[in-house]
Structure 1
Amino acid sequence: MSKAVEQALGCRATSLQPLSRSWGLKVMRAGLDDGRTVLVKQGPGDLPGHAGLEGWMLDELARETALPVPDVLHASPDLLVTDWIDNEGGPSSPAHERHAAELLAALHTMRQPSFGYSRDTAIGGLAQPNPETTSWVAFFRDHRLVHMADIAHGRGRLPGPVRTRIDRLADRLADYIDEPAHPSLLHGDLWGGNVLVRGERIAAVIDPAISCGHPEIELAFTTLFATFGRPFFDAYGALAPLDKEFFTLRLHIYNLYPLLVHVALFGGSYVPPVEATLERAGC
């Protein structure tokens, strides 16, 4: 890895500290001989080209939004180098949640031309298709719900009867979710580990899975692993009012997508929550 960093940046790595692996990528904190500290991810990883794709997504967020993201110093299919973000872990205070609400409300109110994106992306080391589409219901049905159910079932981690029930929900999806006022750019993977704080502010959001969609799918995801709670939703709702019906069934419908991602990756304990949501929907 030292040689790869030197070839990419023209600086020698004087220290390398291993961090946890990320979807097959080796992850290191590296000190450079010019005094900088950087984060390095080296592949090929579970999804070919994932390192370069992650760099491209970070650049998209930096170019198109005001979200704080690490600067990309180098991105190629098997190597990503970004600024190191000094941080104190994930969000843990109402102030963190209120700042996150400001950032996400601003992101979501930016009008985008269509659902999907200009290229396919990835979530958790899995392919995430983004064909540009005019209907949110059709996009979520075909390229999120059914797509990830197919992957999970194909890996032997989603039982056949549950897969059939997802098809029943897909056939009736327009009864459960609505078209938004406009497509919004989404970070796409806002669990707590991807939100870094420093002091009382959000220092950076990392590891995106970008696409354009309904803001509600992003907001729902923040509840799945308790990334944010009441202070976030109160602050967000004051800036971008939310339909109260979101908090009943729709939230759970949208969380089928990240749940199916986890079923595809890990199986086991993530299947019962999928079944519980299908039961709620009468499917």
Structure 2
Amino acid sequence: MAHLIRDLTGAKIIAQSNLSGGGSAKVSRLDLDNGQSLVVKSGGKESLEIEATMLRHFSKHSPIPCPAVLYADPGSLVMDFIASDGQMSALVQRNLARLLAKQHAVTAQQYGLPFDTLIGGLHQPNRQSKSWITFFGEHRLQYMAKAAHHEGRLTAGFVNRIEKLIIKLGDLIADAPKASLLHGDLWGGNILYRGGKIVGLIDPAIYYGDREIELAFGTLFGDLTPEFFEHYSEISKIEPGFFEERRDLYNLYPLLVHVRLFGGSYVGSVDRILTRFGV
């Protein structure tokens, strides 16, 4: 790695420290003698080239910064380090609202992407579709539920209930909302801020879809606050029924991801939402 860093930057590593996150990959921060800092991911079960492809696409199309990729192969990823002061505030929330509304205005003709991606290190299929109901039902809910069942995290009964819910999606969500560019894994740990402003988003799980699934995910752990939604809705109207109904429906997907990753109480959260929708 020292030789690779020298080839990429012309600088020497003077300090190394471990960082959290990264799924099954090891994540390190490298400080160089030219004042630059890098993040290196290595190993892991997933191909790190996929993450590099996501970062490059996000960097090209989103108004929100993300780490620049310096090098990638299946087993390693080298990118810029973005410093965050950890000082969340209403000012940060308003800045994120403005930038995310701008990002959601970046649209495509179909839902999904020409390539599959990852979420939390898990495979995320993106077969493109002109029907949001088809895409969300088959390539988000059904795929993740069946994978969780295959891994012993979810019973066949839960899969059957989710398939019954998919049949009802036409009564619950629109089939042709705008296909917005989504970060795809928008929770607090992936949002970097400094000096009252957003300085970057990391660990994307990108695709094009209904922006409401991103807004819903941001509320799952309370990371998007009332200040965020007040400012976002001034820029881009949030349709009635989102907070009352569709937020829970859309959060089934990240909850199924968490069932696969962690099991436990997340199964109960899936059960409560399915019960709420009568399946």
Match of 2:45 in 1: 46
1:232-271 equivalent positions in 2, closer than 5 A: 232-271=228-267
How many residue pairs match? The answer is: 279
13-22 or 164-173, larger mean C-alpha shift = 13-22
Q: Deviations over 1:183-215 (max 9, x none)?
A: 111000011000011011011110000000000
Match of 1:107 in 2: 103
d(CA) in 2 for partners of 1:97, 1:278: 31
d(CA) in 2 for partners of 1:204, 1:112: 23
**Among candidates 126, 135, 140, match of residue 122 of structure 2:** 126
AA of the residue aligned to 2:82: I
Q: Deviations over 1:63-104 (max 9, x none)?
A: 112111122111222111111111112x62111111111011
21-30 or 141-150, larger mean C-alpha shift = 21-30
Structure 1 residue ranges without an equivalent (≥5): none
Identity %: 44
d(CA) in 2 for partners of 1:114, 1:184: 9
CA contact (8 A) 1:249 1:280 kept: no
Shift in CA distance, 53/10, structure 1 to aligned 2, threshold 3 Å:
farther
1:136-215 equivalent positions in 2, closer than 5 A: 136-215=132-211
Q: Secondary structure at the match of 1:248?
A: helix
Report whether the alignment pairs 1:78 with 2:75: yes
Match of 1:58 in 2: 55
d(CA) in 1 for partners of 2:248, 2:177: 21
d(CA) in 1 for partners of 2:9, 2:176: 43
d(CA) in 2 for partners of 1:179, 1:235: 26
Q: Secondary structure at the match of 1:189?
A: coil
AA of the residue aligned to 1:82: M
d(CA) in 1 for partners of 2:153, 2:105: 37
d(CA) in 2 for partners of 1:227, 1:21: 17
Q: Secondary structure at the match of 1:23?
A: coil
Q: Deviations over 1:125-171 (max 9, x none)?
A: 10000111100010000000000001111111112222211111011
Q: Deviations over 1:215-243 (max 9, x none)?
A: 00000000001111111111111111011
RMSD: 1.4
Structure 2 residue ranges without an equivalent (≥5): none
104-113 or 187-196, larger mean C-alpha shift = 104-113
